[in-house]
Amino acid sequence: MHTTTVGIIGGGPAGLLLARLLHNAGIDSVVLELRDRAYVEQRQRAGILEQATVDALRAAGAGARMDAEGIPHDGIELRFGRRAHRIDFPSLTGGRSVMVYAQTEVVKDLVALQLAEGDRLLFGAEVTSVEGADSDTPVVRFVHEGREQTLSCDYVVGCDGFHGVTRDSVPESLRTTYERTYPYSWLGVLAEAPPVYDELVYAHSERGFALASMRSATVSRLYLQVPNGTDPADWSSERIWDELDARFALDGDPGWKLERGRVTSKAVLPMRSHVTEPMRYGRVLLAGDAAHIVPPTGAKGLNLAVADVVVLARALARWRETGGTELLDAYSDTCLRRVWRAEHFSYAMTTMLHTGPAQSPFETKLQLSQLERIATSPHAAAELAENYTGLPLPR
C-alpha cells in the first residue's frame, strides 16, 4: 500500500495545479491520471485565463512561458444586428484583463514542473474506487502497469472531470445535482489561419452563434453553433468558412471575409450546465469539472477549476500548519458561491447569443434588446466585463 497526505485523482490543470500548490506548501501528494502524458498534453479545452488564474499560475511558479507566449486581451467584440461593439475590460473593471493561453500549454507547464520538482505523478493509473470517505484515512484503489494497488491518504481530491469516478463514489443520497442541457452544440475548429480580429469576437446572428478566438498569430480557434447530434464529417472546410463569413458579416463592410487556411481539427462540443452539491464528503473533496460544468460561452470552466484548487490548497495548508479544519469545513460553501455566479453568467451569455431551434421572433428581439443595452450602458457593459475577467478569489 502506498501512503500520502493528499491523493489527487486526475492530472488535468486542476489536479496538477493543486499538486504544485501543495508542493510549495510542503504537503506531499500523489497524482493519478488515467491517460498517458501525450494524451493529457494534447487535450483541447479552453484558452481564456481570467486575471485571477494568471496571478495564481504566476504565484505557483508556472507563469514564465505563459507570460512569454500568452496573448493579453483587454476586451472582446460583440457582433449583433450586423454591427460591432467593443467591450473594453480595463476601463470597466479597474484594470483587469484576460490572457489567451491554451489549456494544453498550461498542462504542459504544470506537468514539466511536477516531473522535475514535485511529488509522484502516475500516468496510465486507472482508479477503480474511492473508499472510506467518512474515515480518517480514505483509500484509493487503482491499477497501474497491470498491477492492482492502493493509496492511503489523509484527504482525497477528485479532479477527474465530469465522467470521473470520484463523484460517483459518493452515494447519491449524499449529493444533489442541478443541471441543464442546451438544445445546441458547438462545432470547434482549429485552423492554420490568422485571427479574425486581435481580440475575441462573439457573434449573434439569425443563422446561429459564432465565436472567433485564437491560439497564436497564425492559428485560429473558431466555433459555430450547430444542432445537437451533428457529425463533424458533414462539415467540409469550405462549408465551415462560408458559414463563418455569413455569421460574422457586418453591414458597414459587406465585402469582408475571413482569411482562410487549412482546418487541422474539428469536433462537436455539447453544451451543458451541471453543479453537484456539496463539494466535500468527509475527507473526499471535488474540484473543477468533477463538481461543476458550465457552457463554454462564458470561458469559465478552467478558471473555476483553478479557483477551487487555490481555495483548497489554502485550506489544506491551514490544516497542516495548525490542525484547524475551519477552512476545509467552509470549502464547499466558499467555492459554490463563485460557481453559481459563473453558472449564471455562462447561462446568460449562452442564452443571449444563441438561436434556439424553435426560437420565436419575440425571443430574438429580447436577445437584441439585451445586446443593445450592453452596447449603450456603461453599467451593463461593466457587469459583463467584471464577470468575464473574473471575480477576485476569496481570501
d(C-alpha 44, C-alpha 267), whole Å:
10
User: What's the Cα-to-Cα distance from 78 to each of 50, 51, 93, 213, 360, rounded to whole Å?
Assistant: 19, 21, 18, 13, 22
User: Annotated active-site positions, please?
Assistant: 73, 202, 296, 300, 388
Instruction: Give me the sheet containing 98-100, strands edge to edge.
Output: 48-49, 98-100, 71-73
CA distance 99 to 236: 31
| Residues β-bridged to residue 284 | 156, 281
pLDDT (0 to 100) of residue 118:
87
Length of the chain: 395
Does residue 151 sit in helix, strand or coil? strand
Residue 267, phi then psi, degrees to nearest 5: -155, 150
- C-alpha cell belonging to residue 393: 478569489
Residues 6+ apart with CB under 8 A from 349: 202, 295, 297, 298
H-run or E-run covering 378: helix 378-389
- Taken in order of first residue, the domains within the chain and their CATH numbers are 2-48+102-179+272-353 (3.50.50.60)
| Burial group, residue 189, by CB count within 10 angstroms (0-12, 13-18, 19+) | buried
Residues of the chain with pLDDT under 50: none
Contact 276, 291 (CB under 8 A): yes
Q: Which residue, 390, 135, 174, is CA-closest to 286?
A: 174
Bridge partners (DSSP) listed for residue 281: 284
Alpha helix locations (H) across 224-353?
A: 237-248, 301-322, 326-353
- Rounded Cα distance between 12 and 46, Å, is 12
pLDDT at residue 393, as a whole number: 81
pLDDT at position 208: 97
**Short-list 179, 176, 164, 80, CA closest to 130:** 164
Q: How far apart are CA 354 and CA 186, in angstroms?
A: 10
DSSP one-letter code for 209: -
316: CB partners within 8 A, 6+ apart: 6, 22, 25, 27, 155, 328
pLDDT score recorded for residue 252: 78
H or E element at residue 18: helix 13-24
> What does the block give as the cell for 87?
467591450
Backbone φ, ψ for residue 209 (5° rounding): -75, 150
Query: For the chain, where are the E strands, in sequence order?
Result: 2-9, 29-33, 48-49, 71-73, 75-80, 83-88, 98-100, 120-123, 125-131, 139-144, 147-158, 176-192, 200-203, 210-214, 220-226, 262-277, 280-281, 284-286, 292-293
167 neighbors 290 (Cβ within 8 angstroms): yes
